[in-house]
């Protein structure tokens, strides 16, 4: 005669086990697709911010990479031929609505670092307002500017001050740090 508590617990445990198993299966099945989506999206973004780069390699131990809440998360070296011509930096920061991720393309030549483009990868900004940081008129102003960058070189967006100034700050900090470190490797 099995007590009621044991029966109830058994039912719960069985359900949880089945749930865990099916989720593990679904996870394994969908993971390749999710990873591929992310890989493709990253490739498109890298090409967009650093158009002359032919291929990109992730530099896992680059000194710029930070584990703080905000900062450079990943460094991708962009190659033309066999030489490193520049970098794509994935920078994370907290915008108005939450966490924001940018990809900043920088060309490094003769000790000079020039921004080639930026792209907003992820954001939680307000649709129609803060979201406008992804529009060409705002993103376009970064290309061609040489390090060291200054805040007064860039315009922010009316009605989206916090979102846009945050983007400007993230770009300036990451590019200037890259510049002072002599382009890293």
Partner 1 sequence: MADDDSLFGTFIRGCWVQNPVLRLLLGMCPTLAVTNTAVNGLVMGGATLFVLVCSAMLISLFRRFIPAKVRIPIFIVVVATFVTIADYMLAAFIPEIHKILGIFVPLIVVNCIILGRIEAFASKNGVVQSLADALGSGLGFTLGLLVLASIREALGFGTIFGYAVFWAGFKPMLVMVLPPGAFLTLGFLIGFMNWYDQRQAKLACVECGGECE
Partner 2 sequence: MIRDLFILFFGAAVVNNFVLYRFLGICPFLGVSKKTESAAGMGAAVTFVMTLANLATWLVYNYVLEPNGLLFLQIVSYILIIATLVQLIEMYMKKYQQVLFKAFGIYLPLITTNCAILGLTLINTIDGNDLISTVVFALGGGAGFTLALLIMSGIRERLELADLPKPLEGAPIALITAGILAMAFGGFGGML
Q: Which residues bind partner 1 (CB under 8 A)?
A: 4, 7-8, 11-12, 15-16, 19, 22-23, 26-27, 30, 33-34, 37, 41, 122, 124, 126-129
- What is the closest distance, in whole angstroms, from the C-beta atom of residue 29 to partner 1 in the complex? 8
Q: Which does 22 bind (CB under 5 to 8 A by kind): partner 2, partner 1, none?
A: partner 1
Name the helix (H) or strand (E) containing 12: helix 4-49
Q: Nearer Cβ to partner 1, position 17 or 185?
A: 17
HSE, CB side, 13 Å, CA atoms: give it for residue 137: 6
CA distance linking residue 51 with residue 38, whole number of Å: 19
User: Residues 94-133: x/- map of binding to partner 2 (CB under 8 A)?
Assistant: x-xxxx--------------------------x-------
Q: How far is the CB of 94 from partner 2 (least distance, A)?
A: 8
**Residue 96 binds which entry of partner 2, partner 1, none, CB below 5-8 Å type-dependent:** partner 2
Among 18, 21, 23, 185, binds partner 2 (CB under 8 A): 23
Q: What is the DSSP letter of 145?
A: P
**106 touches 178 (CB < 8 A):** yes
Residue 15 contact, options partner 2, partner 1, none, Cβ 5-8 Å cut-off depending on partner type:
partner 1
The CA dihedral of 176, 181, 182, 185, to the nearest 10 degrees, is -120
DSSP assigned state of 68:
S
Q: In what order do the strands lie in the sheet with 55-59?
A: 55-59, 71-80, 83-94, 99-109, 112-122
Q: What residue ranges bind partner 2 (CB under 8 A)?
A: 16, 19-20, 23-24, 26-27, 69, 94, 96-99, 126, 161-162
């Amino acid at each position: 005669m099995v007590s009621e508590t044991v029966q109830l617990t058994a039912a719960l445990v069985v359900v949880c086990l089945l749930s865990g198993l099916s989720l593990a299966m679904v996870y394994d099945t969908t993971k390749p697709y999710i990873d591929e989506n992310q890989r493709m999206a990253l490739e498109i973004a890298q090409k967009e911010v650093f158009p002359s780069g032919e291929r990109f390699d992730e530099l896992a131990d680059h000194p710029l990479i930070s584990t703080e809440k905000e900062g450079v998360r990943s460094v991708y070296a962009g190659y033309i031929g066999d030489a490193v011509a520049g970098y794509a930096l994935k920078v994370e920061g907290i915008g108005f609505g939450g966490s924001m991720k940018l990809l900043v393309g920088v060309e490094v030549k003769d000790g000079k670092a020039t921004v080639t483009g930026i792209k907003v990868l992820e954001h939680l900004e307000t649709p129609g307002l803060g979201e406008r940081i992804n529009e060409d008129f705002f993103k376009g102003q970064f290309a061609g500017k040489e390090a060291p960058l200054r805040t007064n070189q860039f315009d922010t967006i009316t009605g989206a001050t916090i979102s846009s100034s945050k983007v400007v700050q993230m770009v300036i900090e990451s590019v200037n740090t890259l510049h002072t470190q002599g382009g890293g490797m």
